[in-house]
Amino acid sequence: MTGNVLVGQSGGPTAVINSSLAGVFKTAKDLGAGKVYGMLYGIQGLLDEKYIDLGEKLHSELEIELLKRTPSSYLGSCRYKLPDYDSQPEIYETLFNTFNKLNIQYFFYIGGNDSMDTIKKLSDYGTAHQSEIRFIGVPKTIDNDLEITDHTPGYGSAAKFIGATTKEIIRDSLVYDQKNVTIIEIMGRNVGWLTGAAALSEGVDCGGPDLIYLPETDFSMEDFLERTARLQAHKKSLVIAISEGIHLKDGRYVCELTEDRKYVDGFGHTMLNGAANILAQRAAREIGCKTRAIELNTLQRCASHMASLVDIKEAFLAGAAGVRAADEGKSGEMIILKRTSGDSKACKSIYECSTDTFDIHKIANMEKKVPLEWIDLTNNKVTKDFVDYARPLIGDELSPIMVEGLPRHIEYVI
């Protein structure tokens, strides 16, 4: 591997995004790359020439292990939409001048859907201008909404946190001898992979959520209140999981049924929050019971103390695979995870995962939703197929390195 490497992180962080960064850094150095630069605050920071030499920060295997166990984005992040070349060519000229100044031969961007759009645009520009730089996307998103890949690094740890937290909330809701409804609001924007993970709480010691609402289908306020009242009539405590992105038939998000102004980010995405509070207020007013709204919010993506070992390993694997793919001459592609399974002696499915690459043009700006056949519309839950899909991704734990009773993280550079 000749020349230097540039890697960045973009979009919302996850509990394992730094494991992918560790995979890129370590594999690039193992393959003989020169310097491995990290852009600070993603592509937006790079426009201001904000970057560091990661080799000056990561000196030992211990630091790499700490990096893998540290939540959020070590290099910082951004939500910056790279404009089309025709509208602002000077931005591309600025970026490629920086690439040339740093002798960059390999560019890696760790992120979700919008980040893959950045890889697509940079790769297309590079091809059109005969650049030899290789551009590879490394998948990351707790939303699990990237096409082609079986799942995304970050989802398994978030699903593990959601399943465990839902189980604890259900237990807590049984404390008092009075009727109550608890509504848990879960991230995911327009897809329900995370909300569906609340069903993982169901087991011999827990019945799981009473209702689960995903954004793949239209939400009916009347049906919600009717179902809730019917369940409340014969059950003391109800716990309902909803996606932040549930919407009415006319397309309005439930969280927009308020006078509060919603924040819109650089990609034009409306900040989705508050749906649980709206539903809790309606249920309290029309059913006449105690209600509580709980937003898991950023806890879903930063709870590295409950990260899935499967997720940490696959995040590292994705970063490493990206470097190997670029070293083999590939560009304009994203690393994908491929699920394989076999039968063990106990006749149980064995979960295994491998990597491959796929054309970024067939992934960027697309959104993978939960299959409708995995949604139980009769009971407002998810099916066994959904649970069987998600459960292997939350397996096993990687204990934090504890110092004075708290997890030790690597010192951040931002």
pLDDT in tens, 314-371: 999 999 999 999 999 999 999 999 998 744 344 456 899 999 999 999 999 999 999 9
pLDDT in tens, 387-413: 999 999 999 988 889 999 999 999 988
359 contact partners, CB below 8 Å, separation of at least 6:
332, 333
CA distance linking residue 106 with residue 99, whole number of Å:
9
pLDDT in tens, 160-188: 999 999 999 999 999 999 999 999 999 99
Residue 379, token pair as written in the block? 């009971």
pLDDT in tens, 221-231: 999 999 999 99
Core vs surface per residue 198-210: b (16+ CB within 10 A) or e? bbbbbeeebebbb
187 is in an annotated binding site: yes
pLDDT in tens, 288-308: 989 999 999 999 999 999 999
CA distance linking residue 99 with residue 101, whole number of Å:
6
CA distance linking residue 208 with residue 204, whole number of Å:
10
CA 42 to chain centre: 17
CA distance linking residue 154 with residue 125, whole number of Å:
29
CA distance linking residue 6 with residue 119, whole number of Å:
13
pTM for the structure as a whole: 0.95
What share of the chain in percent tops pLDDT 90?
89
Instruction: Give the three-state DSSP class for 364.
Output: coil
Average the pLDDT over 210-215 and give the result. 98
> Which sign does the torsion angle of CA 300, 301, 305, 307 carry?
positive
How much is the pLDDT for 343?
Answer: 41
DSSP string, 6-69: EEEE-SS--SSHHHHHHHHHHHHHHTT-S-EEEETTHHHHHTTT-EEEGGGT--SHHHHHHHHT
How much is the pLDDT for 166?
Answer: 98
CA 325 to chain centre: 23
Core vs surface per residue 124-154: b (16+ CB within 10 A) or e? bbbeeeebebbbbbbbbbbbbbbbbbbbbbb
**Angle 185-191-195 (CA atoms, 0-180°, nearest 5)?**
35
Which residue in 30, 84, 124, 143 is the catalytic one?
143
Q: Tell me whether domains 4-141+305-364+397-402 and 155-302 share a fold.
A: yes
Spell out the domain ranges in the chain: 4-141+305-364+397-402, 155-302
CATH class as words, domain 4-141+305-364+397-402 = alpha beta
86 is in an annotated binding site: no
CA distance linking residue 265 with residue 255, whole number of Å:
16
Phi, psi of 204 (to 5 degrees): -65, -25
Q: Is 143 a catalytic residue?
A: yes
CA distance linking residue 173 with residue 209, whole number of Å:
11
Residue type, 272: L
109 contact partners, CB below 8 Å, separation of at least 6:
7, 8, 9, 10, 42, 43, 115, 116, 118, 119, 135, 136, 137, 138
CA distance linking residue 107 with residue 323, whole number of Å:
9
2 is in an annotated binding site: no
Q: Supply the mean pLDDT for the chain.
A: 94
340 is in an annotated binding site: no
142 is in an annotated binding site: yes
pLDDT band, very low/low/confident/very high, at 269 (cuts 50, 70, 90): low
11 is in an annotated binding site: no
288 is in an annotated binding site: no
The answer on pLDDT for 279 being more than 70 is: yes
CATH architecture of 155-302: 3-Layer(aba) Sandwich (3.40)
How much is the pLDDT for 272?
Answer: 84
How much is the pLDDT for 262?
Answer: 57
CA distance linking residue 91 with residue 82, whole number of Å:
8
31 vs 395, residue with greater confidence:
31
